[in-house]
Amino acid sequence: MDSSSSASGGDKPLRKISESFSEIANSIKQSEEVELAPFSHACSLVSPLFRCLGIAFKFAEMDYVAKVNDLCETSKSILTLQLMMENDIKENCVRKAGSHTRNLLRVKRGLDMVKVLFEEILASENNSLKNPASKAYGQVFSPYHGWAIRKAVAAGMYALPTKQQLLQKLNEDEISARTEMQKYVAASALVIVYIDKLFQSRELGIDW
């Protein structure tokens, strides 16, 4: 197994993801503010998960990583998600390709897709990831993709790892994986709703 497609040594990417998003969810409950630096760091921890899913989600991995990198860079000069959006609104560039706000919307979809994927894995006894991954893609990404990408993703679904292979890559067993997935689902649901509200309260919409 090559190191690029699996977690190294005793690394526990799933635990890191669930803990980071739990911290962000707690900060939302306490202050209604989300700082960009910890948020973009938490999002960067999700990238290896896309890699573990293989060719079907290669498009998502490349797009997601590029946009998370932009948010990480932006966090060096802007403190919160709100401030970042306000700046883009002032500059009148919210919907322009490459804007931080547009990138945030795309990153949020990546988080949402992982949430749905985990929900479907938790609800299924099956070792195949084809149904969970297809549902997650269909629900979150498919409405925004053209025919060519949808067709490529559908073909890639046949090369997905099994659930056991995925857990092996993530250095988890069935019980520990369920715990961390449930933690991520609960925490990310709060984070996703929070980001949606940021867009809707500024009448920016979320379907673009």
Q: Return the domain boundaries, the chain.
A: 13-196
100-123 helix and 36-44 helix, angle to the nearest 10 degrees: 50
**Regions of the chain with pLDDT less than 50:** 1-5, 8-9
Query: What was the pLDDT predicted at 1?
Result: 38
User: How far apart are alpha carbons 75 and 34 in whole angstroms?
Assistant: 11
Chain centre distance of CA 59? 13
User: How far apart are alpha carbons 31 and 25 in whole angstroms?
Assistant: 10
H-type alpha helices, the chain: 13-31, 36-44, 47-52, 58-74, 81-91, 100-123, 130-140, 147-156, 163-169, 174-201
Query: What was the pLDDT predicted at 10?
Result: 59
174-201 helix and 13-31 helix, angle to the nearest 10 degrees: 40
The CATH class given to the 13-196 domain equals mainly alpha
User: How far apart are alpha carbons 93 and 35 in whole angstroms?
Assistant: 21
- Reading the block at residue 107, the tokens are 């990153």
**pLDDT per position as a tens digit, 156-193:** 999 999 999 999 999 999 999 999 999 999 999 999 99
φ/ψ of 35, rounded to 5, equals: -80, 140
User: How far apart are alpha carbons 21 and 188 in whole angstroms?
Assistant: 6
Query: What was the pLDDT predicted at 22?
Result: 97
Query: What was the pLDDT predicted at 3?
Result: 41
Query: What was the pLDDT predicted at 208?
Result: 87
Distances (CA, A) of 85 to 48, 66, 95, 102, 104: 27, 18, 11, 9, 9
Query: What was the pLDDT predicted at 7?
Result: 52
With vertex at residue 44, the alpha carbon angle to CA 83 and CA 134, rounded to the nearest 5 degrees, is 110
Query: What was the pLDDT predicted at 109?
Result: 95
Burial-class residue 57 by CB neighbours within 10 Å (0-12, 13-18, 19+): buried
Residue 92 region by backbone torsions, left for phi larger than 0, else alpha for psi between -120 and 50, else beta = left
